[in-house]
Amino acid sequence: MPKKPLPSPATKNGLDALQPGSGQAAVKADKGNAGELHQHLAKDDERDAGAHLTDNFGHRIADNQNSLKAGARGPTLLEDFVLREKIFHFDHERIPERIVHARGSGAHGVFECTRAIPELTKADIFQEAGKTCPVFVRFSTVAGGAGSVDTPRDVRGFAVKFYTEAGNWDLVGNNIPVFFIQDAMKFPDLVHSVKMEADRGYPQAASAHDTFWDFIGLMPESFHMIMWAMSDRAIPRSFRMMEGFGVHSFRFVNAKGKAKFVKFHWKPVLGLQSTVWDEAVKMAGADPDYQRRDLFEAIDAGDFPQWDLGVQVFDEAFAAKQPYDVLDATKLIPEEDVPVEIVGRMTLNRNPDNFFAETEQVAFLPSNIIPGIDFSNDPLLQGRLFSYLDTQKSRLGTTNFHQIPINAPKCPFHNFQRDGLMQTLVPKGRANYEPNSLAEADEDAGPRACPETGFSSFPGNGERNDAAEKLRVRADLFADHFSQARLFYRSQTANEQAHIASALVFELSKVTLDHVRTRVVGQLRNIDEDLAKRVAKGLAIDLPATIKPAKAPIDMAVSDALSIQKRDRPDIKGRKIAILFAEGSDSSAISALRKQIEKAGGSVFLVAPRVGGIPVTGGTLKADGQLAGSPSVLFDAVAAVLTEDAAARLSREGAAVQWFMDAFGHCKTIAHDAASQPLLDKAGVEPDAGVVALADFIKVGTRRHWDREPKVRDLA
Ligand code: HDD
């Protein structure tokens, strides 16, 4: 539960979202642009507890319950400006949702440089260990609308806005290090194909349909990304437990003007964790807001999520030797080849005050860059540099979207751009052009360019195949579409490979066009013959002929960094553990377990058949959730503290039996006392290393017991 009191419905000015004076960012931005802007405007965050309710122009409102009528039963009068304004504003509350990444969750935080790297970059934030800068992060799914669920099989967006002293730097990445396409030219086609089909308006938030797989089958360059999207990476347990990637090769430029390529990585301090597909599907029903809630509650409880920022730095000589092109966003650089060096840590420590004002209105722009970091010639990145700026005009309605507090830099900004829809700054004087000589008449002449400290693009690029002619082509190495798809697949554990095969079978089963299925399986043969056979078997189709690749794939050395399970840890920190109890349960056993879990950094959620408080030994105990509304899919591990009577009763209760059946099926740790055994038996829970006595729970932790999986799922 949020600790803060709910904000009062009353506001002094009601202009919360668009007032540049209503947030820290804008207060600082004002200083730079137009002096003491808007200081006459009351700030919403300065509102007194007993403030008067007013309309948007400050008129106090006497009655907020009844419209003005001609007589008690008469028609409502047009002159009722209070009603009119209230309905008028309400009617226009929604803005267009993002065309992709519409559903997202945001948080404020801080980035701290942990290792200065001035030899690599002159970027302000990497000059000194210990230097901090505020950030705002938005995590998202890609395909679903703003009201869709949190746990579909999908890529997750991982967008970070650094409010540096040198201006905003937006690192707009995903939880997958590669992308579906190589050239921005194909982005509208990709998005059209994956979104709801144009005539029928479904499916929502799902790639399992004809048009997506039709497009994919015809786009061999997508297959590396498809391996990731069909893997457990696309069903993460929590935003807090996934990696983030800047995807493209960027450049670091140091003070001497020397440049190297860089790829950015976010490594979650809590480790990586995913769900299994059956669990993700059930989570969507049990709690459509699962990941949003998880992030909000963790921050609210002071359990701040953290990521280390890592960089892979390499030069032109390295790039020239690779069998792939470092400008191709469908390729990664194995960590075994270029290690990820940690240079900073990000901590998310504050929930947004207002979802719309901050999370909805935040505008990330890959073109927001600071001196010391530069773009590369990656053709996907180049297209993004236009698209994000452009889309804000239709989403936020004005070229002045940078004045919305969440988007405004926290350093001064001054220029000669003026006016436009929803201009909220009030620039003084008449210097709105340059050059000018107004200073000679003692007038404010406005700002001037700064050749020494201003952003200057890295002049030499030295990138391979840099053509002077204008060509609508792809560079030669971009034609290798399958080597890294194969690298990813072969780097997974046997269970993870089975998950990929099952995901492909699931998705292609939803495809109704036979030739589309066949073509996709024909492409899979370029990745791994065994994978193609498994998918063909799962679909009950003959193995189709291989679709000849543009370039024959090569075998790269397996990379353990690409697997989640190979890096599995038995963590309890940041995990949520449910304890099922009922009438007569041993309260001391419950509190002993709770204490141990909390000491290990986990949190406990008590589940019982009734919530209001039921008799246990030594008194009554309230539950956090009722059994049917708190299925085990919502927790990382489960425990049961029951009496024999309660276990017998619950054995006849579907929700209780399902609770354990799912926990077992999803390979979770199940800790229990002896009295609970009959209930576990009824649920088909078999003894293994993950089914333990209460006292052994901490030792085993919340790691998934993958060796159990063949018992509960056909992995063939
Ligand atoms: Fe994009 C949003 C990530 C390619 C065009 N993208 C968006 C968001 C993320 C990404 C995380 C949500 C930002 C937020 O939370 O507001 N996009 C990526 C990554 C890509 C990528 C990692 C490839 C490496 N995107 C990409 C291309 C284009 C776009 C090639 C267009 C040419 N993306 C957009 C957009 C969005 C967007 C349409 C929708 C809303 C927005 O930008 O602000 O402009």
Residue-wise pLDDT tens digits, 624-682? 999 999 999 999 999 999 999 999 999 999 999 999 999 999 999 999 999 999 999 99
- Active-site hit among 38, 101, 108, 209: 101
Q: Are 682 and 625 members of one domain?
A: yes
Within 6 A (CB) of ligand 1 lie 98-101, 104, 138, 140, 157, 159, 172-174, 179, 184, 187, 247, 329, 362-364, 380, 383-384, 387-388, 391
Q: Are 596 and 687 members of one domain?
A: yes
Q: Residue type at 660?
A: F
State the pLDDT at residue 467: 57
Is residue 384 part of an annotated ligand binding site? Answer: yes
How far apart CA 219 and CA 203 sit, in angstroms, is: 21
Using the mean position of ligand 1's atoms as its centre, give its distance from the Cα of residue 100 in Å: 7
Q: Is 515 a catalytic residue?
A: no
How far apart CA 332 and CA 178 sit, in angstroms, is: 6
Residue 55 lies in a domain: yes
Q: Are 369 and 318 members of one domain?
A: yes
Buried b (16+ CB within 10 A) or exposed e, 658-687: bbbbbbbbbbbbbbbbebbeebbebbebee
Residue 131 lies in a domain: yes
Q: Is 174 a catalytic residue?
A: yes
Q: Are 59 and 139 members of one domain?
A: no
How far apart CA 157 and CA 218 sit, in angstroms, is: 25
Residue nearest to atom 34 of ligand 1 (CA): 388
- Report the DSSP beta bridge partners of residue 344: 113, 309
Q: Are 663 and 684 members of one domain?
A: yes
How far apart CA 527 and CA 529 sit, in angstroms, is: 7
Q: Are 386 and 306 members of one domain?
A: yes
Residue 146 structure tokens: 């703003």
Q: Residues 289-318: pLDDT tens digits?
A: 999 999 999 999 999 999 999 999 999 999
Buried b (16+ CB within 10 A) or exposed e, 373-391: bbbbbbbbbbbbbebbbeb
Measured from the Cα of 174, ligand 1's closest atom is 22
Residue 518 lies in a domain: no
State the pLDDT at residue 28: 34
- Report the DSSP beta bridge partners of residue 69: 76
Q: Are 245 and 329 members of one domain?
A: yes
Residue 547 lies in a domain: no
Using the mean position of ligand 1's atoms as its centre, give its distance from the Cα of residue 185 in Å: 14
DSSP 8-class letter at 130: T
Q: Are 189 and 296 members of one domain?
A: yes
Q: Residues 92-111: pLDDT tens digits?
A: 999 999 999 999 999 999 99
Residue 242 lies in a domain: yes
Q: Are 71 and 117 members of one domain?
A: no
Q: Are 72 and 165 members of one domain?
A: no
Is residue 180 part of an annotated ligand binding site? Answer: no
Question: Residue 342 in contact with residue 115, Cβ under 8 Å?
Answer: yes
Please identify, among 91, 120, 148, the residue that sits at the C-terminal boundary of a domain.
91
Measured from the Cα of 329, ligand 1's closest atom is 24
State the pLDDT at residue 483: 98
Largest CA distance in the chain: 93
| 603: CATH | 3.40.50.880
Strands 341-350 and 104-113: antiparallel
Q: Which domain holds residue 637?
A: 570-712
- Active-site hit among 33, 168, 174, 495: 174
How far apart CA 454 and CA 256 sit, in angstroms, is: 15
Q: Are 646 and 681 members of one domain?
A: yes
Please identify, among 91, 114, 149, the residue that sits at the C-terminal boundary of a domain.
91
| 265: CATH | 2.40.180.10
Best probe residue, ligand 1, of 95, 97, 99, 101 (max atoms within 8 Å of C-beta): 101
Is residue 433 part of an annotated ligand binding site? Answer: no
Residue 261 lies in a domain: yes
Residue 332 lies in a domain: yes
Q: Are 33 and 179 members of one domain?
A: no
Using the mean position of ligand 1's atoms as its centre, give its distance from the Cα of residue 371 in Å: 22
Number of domains in the chain: 3
Please identify, among 63, 91, 119, the residue that sits at the C-terminal boundary of a domain.
91
| 57: CATH | 4.10.91.20
Residue ranges in the chain modelled with pLDDT below 70: 1-48, 461-467
Residue nearest to atom 42 of ligand 1 (CA): 388
Is residue 395 part of an annotated ligand binding site? Answer: yes
Using the mean position of ligand 1's atoms as its centre, give its distance from the Cα of residue 388 in Å: 7
Residue 521 lies in a domain: no
State the pLDDT at residue 571: 86
DSSP string, 378-411: -HHHHHHHHHHHHHHHHHHSSTTGGGSTTTS-SS
Residue nearest to atom 11 of ligand 1 (CA): 157
Using the mean position of ligand 1's atoms as its centre, give its distance from the Cα of residue 379 in Å: 14
Best probe residue, ligand 1, of 388, 393, 395 (max atoms within 8 Å of C-beta): 388
State the pLDDT at residue 569: 84
